[in-house]
């Protein structure tokens, strides 16, 4: 069975600095029409920065939509959308948020943030060979850098105390990749 849905019409109902929201009409496989609310996002990157002692660098920041502080990997949106080189975006975000640069970069694939309503693709990297340069946050960005042993991060992902999707995904991918 062909499960594709075809866009019949699209109306932008909001366009902000980061996202665009559209209300689409889609033709379903059986020919019926259905409304689809779609959030368009430029995509993002997340970096699991691991030093020679297997210490990982995370950031703690307040996430307004859920009214909580979260512990997560350094991450951010691709400033120029899908056409931005994602590795350059990852390097920028790691430097801005943690003040670190890395000599070795390993692409660990991507995840779809929430494909039921959003087209955001998050690209994940493992960064090694770290050197400290100096943090330079965006003017509206407030966060603390937190370090912990990689195995502690894995335990916190597994016990549910770290729930951020990109952090969970990248941590488990790195665990398998590195065999730690």
- Strand (E) or helix (H) holding 49: strand 44-50
- Which residues contact residue 71 at a Cβ distance below 8 angstroms, ignoring those fewer than 6 apart? 58, 59, 60, 146, 156, 162, 164, 167
Active site (catalytic) residues? 139
CA distance 113 to 155: 22
Q: Are 33 and 27 in contact (CB under 8 A)?
A: yes
Tokens describing residue 91: 């390097």
* Residue in this structure with the two tokens 């699209």, named with its chain if needed: 10
Q: Are 129 and 101 in contact (CB under 8 A)?
A: no
Between strands 33-40 and 68-72, the pairing is: unpaired
What b/e readout covers 56-77, taking b as 16+ CB neighbours within 10 angstroms? Answer: bbbbebeeeeeeeebbbbbbbb
């Amino acid at each position: 069975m062909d499960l594709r849905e075809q866009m019949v019409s699209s109306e932008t109902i909001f366009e902000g600095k980061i996202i665009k929201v559209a209300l689409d009409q889609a033709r379903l496989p059986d020919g019926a029409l259905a409304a689809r609310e779609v959030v368009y996002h430029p995509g993002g990157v997340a970096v699991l920065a691991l030093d020679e002692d297997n210490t990982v660098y995370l950031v703690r920041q307040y996430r307004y939509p859920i009214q909580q502080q979260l512990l997560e990997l350094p991450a951010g949106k691709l400033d120029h959308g899908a056409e931005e080189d994602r590795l350059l975006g990852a390097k920028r975000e790691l430097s801005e948020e943690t003040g670190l640069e890395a000599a070795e970069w390993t692409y660990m694939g991507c995840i779809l943030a929430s494909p039921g309503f959003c087209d955001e693709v998050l690209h994940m990297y493992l960064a090694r060979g770290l050197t400290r340069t100096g943090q330079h946050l965006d003017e509206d960005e407030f966060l603390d850098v937190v370090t912990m042993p990689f195995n502690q991060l894995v335990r916190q992902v597994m016990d549910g105390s770290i729930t951020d999707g990109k952090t969970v995904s990248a941590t488990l991918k790195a665990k398998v990749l590195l065999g730690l």
